[in-house]
Amino acid sequence: MKELRKESIIVVEDDPVYMNLIVKELEKLGYTNIKTFATGKEVLSKLDFKPDIAFLDYWLEKDLTGLDVLLRIKKMYPYTQVIFLTASDDVNIAVNTMKNGAYDYIVKGETAFIRIRHLLKKISDEHERKTRSRSIIQFQIIVIIMIIIVSILGILYYHYIHD
């Protein structure tokens, strides 16, 4: 049985055929919480929830690029992992998106869906490590607090019982 993934994903793609391919691939991987948008303006007007992952095309509208959408998403939700999935193989665009917080940049082609699977696994593994680290830190804090409380009680006991 396929593992269902709980992460929320948005896909912003102006080509309906390619958008459908992306959604089918994500569903095949077990993702069910997927929202799709055909334009940058549409996603920005409906971005009232925190997506965990965003797939963005770079060329969306003449007055709004994927970089503009990336900047808005990162301003609202800095921990959202944004992956560009675009036909543009311009190195300067790729570097600029990465400098502005994109998690990765994939050029559409034969290996795009292999890269998507790899990146989603990498993001999932990173999330699990961070969650585990937070749990360990929380446990350590609880242990330290317990040691402090027991020490204070010991001092108070010694002070009031022996005086």
The CATH number for 98's domain is: 3.40.50.2300
- Structurally, the chain folds into a number of domains equal to 1
User: How does pLDDT run along the chain (163 residues), one tens digit per residue?
Assistant: 456 678 899 999 999 999 999 999 999 999 999 999 999 999 999 888 889 999 999 988 878 899 999 999 999 999 999 999 988 888 999 999 999 999 999 999 888 999 998 999 898 888 777 767 777 888 888 889 998 998 888 888 888 876 5
Residue 113: give the domain boundaries. 5-132
Q: Is residue 35 part of a domain?
A: yes
Please, what sign has the CA dihedral across residues 96, 101, 62, 91? positive
> Residue 26's closest CA among 113, 127, 86, 126?
113
Does 156 map to a domain?
no
Asked if the structure places residue 151 within a domain, the reply is no
Determine, yes or no, domain membership for 81.
yes
**112 is a domain residue:** yes
| Site of tokens 């330290």 | 144
